[in-house]
Amino acid sequence: MAEMMLCGTCIAPGRFELVAAPVPQTAPDGWVLVDIAAAGLCGTDYHFTGKQPI
C-alpha cells in the first residue's frame, strides 16, 4: 500500500480541506521532491473567495 500524505486543497471558493493523497515516489524530469515538515496558511488564502485576480 502506498504511503499517504495530507494535501491542503481549495475544493471550491471558500472551501479549503486537507485531502489524503499518495506520496509521490518519483519526480518528473526537471522537478524535485521536497519533504515538507511544516507549512503555513496566509489569512488571504484562508479567506479565498475565487474572485482574486490570477
Predicted TM-score of the model (pTM): 0.58
Q: What is the pLDDT of residue 48?
A: 59
Structure confidence by residue, pLDDT tens digits, 1-54: 679 998 888 787 777 789 999 999 999 999 999 988 888 877 766 665 566 555
Q: Can you read off the three cell numbers belonging to residue 19? A: 485531502
Query: Are the C-beta atoms of 14 and 50 separated by less than 8 Å?
Result: yes
Beta bridge partners of 18: 8
